């Protein structure tokens, strides 16, 4: 039993220490390649605004300070885009109801490897814009960083009014157990044995249950959470929007095996700690855990290539355009998978594997315009 606990703790620490977006502002950084996430955040804004208005209508301010947490905040402009939108909404409601704007306490959370330094450097400009836009009505805003896993406690009891998270909680606390037979795959795939899908689903259920239970202790009664995650449109985990993106990644690594640049055993020992649930899974876990009422669940789709404005499900005869879609998608995926790949396979293969990945994605998108399936849930603390 002790050995099992030590093994589990090791797997958790591996994820905590290696899971983060590409740092800095270079060509492969998350900051440069986060348009997809920006599009998702903007599409979810109406749900977030509705949740804020509901909080204010129930007069849930404690000491006139509106307390916000953004979990899995990363370090691009998207982080402060979310914060700005929340503050703008609160101030607008205050103006409409002749109330004095509150103070704001903003807690930005991510794992220890997150590029907090880049995020902090953007704060002076954020404060200046806030003061210029709202003047005396801006209130006082205090921003701090809370590094750590959101699968553990982060905040004092009943200390938050709203929790936001976008494209983060589909990341698992650890690689699921029992995946040794998931050979030549790095995630769930059409060729994966049935137990692989079961173990991934079981790990997500365990993690999401824990996430909800922990946040229920940290948020005030009547407070809200707005969570956006990548899911899948159908129950079948082998659907294209469920596993195809990383299946193409595995094919790219297998190409490297043929060239003698990657060991097959290294692929067999690598699985991505990620899960894309379907709507029913999300609903059932929320209902079973019981701390929150599900105020709304909405879905929308976003192109793999966020720069592709003509994303029709038709065969694309233009090879140059198809190649561009592959390159753009590969940049998006590289920004959030490179640290994991580097920690397992080493730095030397990264450029090569993503060149091959571009080609596989381009070929797939020529015939099938697969999209990211996003699930947005708004929860109220009971």
Query: What pLDDT sits at residue 99?
Result: 81
What was the pLDDT predicted at 241?
86
- Please compute the mean of the pLDDT values over residues 187-213 and round it to a whole number: 95
Residue ranges per domain, the chain?
Answer: 2-381
pLDDT at 28 exceeding the cut of 60: yes
What integer is the mean pLDDT of 204-228? 96
- What is residue 298's predicted lDDT score, i.e. its pLDDT? 96
**Is 291:213 a contact under the CB 8 Å cutoff?**
yes
Evaluate the CA torsion angle 200, 206, 207, 212 in order and state its sign. Answer: positive
CA distances from 58 to 47, 100, 303, 358, 380 (A): 17, 16, 37, 50, 12
Please tell me the predicted confidence (pLDDT) of residue 107. 95
Question: Above 60 in pLDDT, residue 81?
Answer: yes
pLDDT band at 315, cuts 50/70/90? low
Separation of CA 82 from chain center: 14
Share of the chain above pLDDT 70, in %: 89
Return the CATH architecture of domain 2-381. 3-Layer(aba) Sandwich (3.40)
- 138-182 pLDDT, tens digit each: 568 899 999 999 999 999 999 999 999 999 999 999 999 999 999
Alpha-carbon distance 111 to 21, whole Å?
10
Of the spans 17-26, 306-315, 360-369, which averages the highest pLDDT? 360-369
Q: What is the pLDDT of residue 308?
A: 79
Q: What is the pTM of this model?
A: 0.89
The predicted structure's pLDDT at residue 229: 96
- How buried is residue 158: exposed, middle or buried, by Cβ count under 10 Å (0-12/13-18/19+)? middle
pLDDT value at 7 more than 70:
no
* pLDDT score at 103: 87
pLDDT 10s digits, 30-58: 777 788 899 999 999 999 999 999 988 87
Of 237 and 5, the structure prediction assigns the larger pLDDT to: 237
Cα 138 from Cα 103, distance rounded (Å): 8
The predicted structure's pLDDT at residue 318: 58
Question: Residue 133's pLDDT band (boundaries 50, 70, 90)?
Answer: confident
Q: How confident is the model at residue 75 (pLDDT cuts 50, 70, 90)?
A: confident
More confident call, 34 vs 234: 234
Burial group, residue 135, by CB count within 10 angstroms (0-12, 13-18, 19+): exposed
What are 91-117's pLDDT values in tens digits? 888 888 888 777 899 999 999 888 888
| Lowest mean pLDDT segment, chosen from 121-130, 276-285, 302-311 | 302-311
For residue 78, the model assigns a pLDDT of 86
Say what the pLDDT of residue 319 is. Answer: 62
């Amino acid at each position: 039993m002790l050995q099992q606990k030590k093994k589990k703790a090791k797997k958790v620490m591996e994820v905590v220490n290696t899971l983060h977006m590409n740092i800095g502002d270079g060509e492969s950084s998350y900051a440069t390649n986060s348009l997809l996430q920006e599009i998702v955040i903007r599409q979810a804004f109406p749900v977030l605004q509705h949740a804020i208005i509901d909080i204010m209508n129930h007069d849930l301010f404690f000491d006139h300070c509106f307390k916000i947490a953004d979990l899995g905040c990363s370090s691009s402009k998207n982080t402060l885009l979310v914060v700005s939108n929340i503050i703008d909404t609160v101030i607008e409601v205050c103006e409409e109801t002749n109330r004095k704007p509150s103070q704001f306490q903003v807690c930005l959370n991510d794992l220890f490897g997150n590029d907090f330094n880049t995020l902090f450097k953007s704060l002076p400009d954020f404060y200046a814009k806030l003061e210029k836009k709202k003047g005396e009505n801006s209130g006082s805003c205090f921003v701090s960083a809370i590094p750590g896993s959101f699968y553990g406690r982060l905040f004092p009891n009943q200390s938050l009014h709203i929790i936001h998270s976008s494209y983060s909680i589909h990341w698992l606390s650890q690689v699921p157990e029992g995946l040794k037979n998931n050979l030549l795959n790095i995630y769930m795939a059409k060729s994966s044995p049935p137990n692989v899908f079961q173990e991934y689903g079981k790990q997500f259920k365990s993690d999401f249950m824990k996430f909800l239970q922990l946040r229920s202790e940290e948020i005030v009664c009547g407070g809200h959470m707005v969570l956006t995650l990548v899911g899948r449109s159908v129950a079948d985990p082998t659907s294209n929007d469920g596993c195809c993106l990383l299946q193409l990644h595995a094919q790219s690594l297998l190409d490297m095996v043929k060239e003698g640049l990657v060991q097959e055993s290294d692929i067999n020992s690598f699985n991505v700690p990620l899960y894309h649930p379907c709507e029913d899974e999300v609903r059932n876990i929320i209902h079973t855990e019981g701390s929150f009422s599900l105020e709304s669940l909405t879905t929308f789709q976003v192109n793999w290539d966020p720069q592709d404005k003509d994303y029709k499900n038709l065969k694309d005869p233009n090879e140059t355009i198809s190649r561009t879609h592959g390159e753009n998608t590969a940049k998006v995926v590289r920004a959030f998978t490179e640290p994991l790949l580097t920690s397992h396979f080493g730095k030397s293969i990264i450029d090569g594997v993503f060149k091959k990945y571009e080609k596989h994605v381009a070929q797939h998108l020529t015939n099938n315009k697969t999209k990211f399936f996003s699930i947005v849930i708004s929860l109220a603390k009971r």
